[in-house]
Structure 1
Amino acid sequence: MFQEMRYRGPSLDELHENYAKRHQTDEAAPIRSTHEVLIDAPVERVWALLADPAGWSTFAPAIHEVHVAGDGIVAVDTRFTWINGRTKIASRFAVVEPLREITWTGSAMGSRAVHRHLLTTREDGTTLLRSEESMAGTLLGLFYDSAKLHTELTRWLDSIKTAAERS
């Protein structure tokens, strides 16, 4: 347990380049979760929601003050900042494969994370959306754990599902 609390993980740059860009989370991170949801909407609609960070607050009210660098276009290595609840997060897109995967890395309050989203079109026209996230940071486990992360991932995917199905 003590070793897990002391695990800082790789640097943010290494996490970005050698994990996220290679379609991986940090399997050694003490805080990890995976969740998936079946969405009764075409993949294009689900992608449009994920690839528009400035619009996340329309379906996920805890998210606000999203600022995407440059011209606001989501692309590999584009940086963005956002607030989730009361936590300000500095992020950077690592994978942007339209209609298939969008992944970013981020840091907040000494923690570092990889957050992947995988989209699969099913034969019946629905979309399977899978989210995987890993988090690490010294002493992060004192106030955050995998169960809390799983609750957040479930809430996030459910909000995307509701928005995509409503559109």
Structure 2
Amino acid sequence: MKKLIYSIIVFVVSIGLLVGGLELFSSYKPSISIHLDAPVQTKKSIVIHADQKKVWTILADVNHWAEWQSDIKNPELKGAFRPGHSFTWKSGGLNIRSDIQIATPLTKIGWCGPALGAFAVHIWTFTTLIDGSTRVDVEESMEGWLVSVLSHQFQTGLDTSLDKWLGALKATAEKQ
């Protein structure tokens, strides 16, 4: 029995050291575009029947994300929404710290950041259509040791997540 307990402890410690080492030696570069060599990538679009300023402002108002996006918990941006600033949030049980890379008023938003075993780049583009509606294009890439191991699950999760983001953004902008 002692041998079994010892073996379990050694196994758990070994896994902890392996994960810690992978996290410690992982290096990701901030970017203003998605990483085209990442194992997980998604591009999605939606047309929102609201003006571009309203849609851009809703997404840039990080501190209020949880009010319209049910998967987001505790979003917090200290300071202005601009490149060089960071915000924290929780999604899918993960605590995330994102660094704003792009904040071009009314046209583009981009952020990137690490989470356990992953690094994501999110790029949002806003275009006014001839009828006054707004087309929102979102691209995201994910990479990292855990993403590489579980790429199918991450791809499925990312596709579902971005569909929810876009749907919630549309519903919020169109009801205001």
TM interval, shorter chain, is: 0.7 to 0.9
Equivalent residue number for residue 116 of structure 2? 109
Output the CA distance in 2 between the equivalents of 1:104 and 1:139. Answer: 20
1:158 CA displacement: 0.5
The answer to whether the 8 A contact 2:89-2:97 is kept is yes
Output the CA distance in 2 between the equivalents of 1:79 and 1:145. Answer: 24
Q: Write the mapping of 1:15-164 to structure 2, written as runs, cut at 5 A.
A: 16=30, 19-20=31-32, 24-69=33-78, 72-143=79-150, 144-164=153-173
Output the CA distance in 2 between the equivalents of 1:109 and 1:39. Answer: 33
Partner SS, residue 139 of structure 1 = helix
Partner SS, residue 157 of structure 1 = helix
Could you tell me which runs of 5 or more consecutive residues in structure 1 were left unpaired when the two chains were aligned.
1-5
The answer to whether the 8 A contact 2:46-2:135 is kept is yes
1:150 partner letter? D
Runs (4+) of structure 1 moved beyond 6 Å?
A: none
RMSD, aligned CA: 1.6
Q: Specify which structure has the higher proportion of helix.
A: 2
Could you tell me which runs of 5 or more consecutive residues in structure 2 were left unpaired when the two chains were aligned.
1-21
Partner SS, residue 27 of structure 1 = coil
| TM-score for both structures, normalised by structure 1 | 0.85
1:85 partner letter? G
Output the CA distance in 2 between the equivalents of 1:52 and 1:139. Answer: 30
1:142 CA displacement: 3.7
- The number of equivalent residue pairs is 150
Partner SS, residue 38 of structure 2 = coil
2:175 partner letter? R
1:86 CA displacement: 0.9
Q: Residues 105-155 of structure 1, C-alpha deviation per residue, up to 9 Å, x if partnerless?
A: 011102111000000001100000010000001132444332221111111
Output the CA distance in 1 between the equivalents of 2:166 and 2:148. Answer: 23
Equivalent residue number for residue 166 of structure 1? 175
